[in-house]
Amino acid sequence: MIEDIHSAQDMDRLVAEGEGYVLLWLWAAWCRPCQVMAPAVQALEERFAGKIRVARMEVDEQEELAEGFGLVGVPTFILYKDGEEKGRIIGYRMKAKFFEEIEAMMKENKG
């Protein structure tokens, strides 16, 4: 299940408890590419169940928190491993390319 981030405390908890991989999806309700990618994110969560924990944050609802990420666009996906940022994907991707990039980041950051 994709978790929703509604506060800095939610974000701190997610990263602090995040043993293994956590994928944070930063999106906006008005963002068409964000909406189009939603099924791919859901599929990714199912495909990597038990390996990646997925959370999302609506950047307009959490403007102050979102500013801390230095966003240049949405959607932005940030992959964390053991609480540390390991990589980002910025912008729309086709499902296969999205999976490929996530898998590549995971391989780069094993161990």
Residue 60 backbone phi and psi in degrees, to 5: -75, -30
The reported pTM is: 0.94
Annotated catalytic residue within 31, 52, 54, 59:
31
Tell me the pLDDT tens digit for each residue of 1-59. 899 999 999 998 888 876 789 999 999 999 999 999 999 999 999 999 999 999 999 99
Task: Name all domains of the chain by residue range, CATH numbers in brackets.
Answer: 3-108 (3.40.30.10)
Annotated catalytic residue within 11, 22, 34, 105:
34
* Residue-by-residue DSSP string for 94-105: -HHHHHHHHHHH
Tell me the pLDDT tens digit for each residue of 77-98. 999 999 899 999 999 999 999 9
Active-site annotation holds for 34: yes
Active-site annotation holds for 31: yes
What is the rounded end-to-end Cα distance, in angstroms, of the chain? Answer: 25
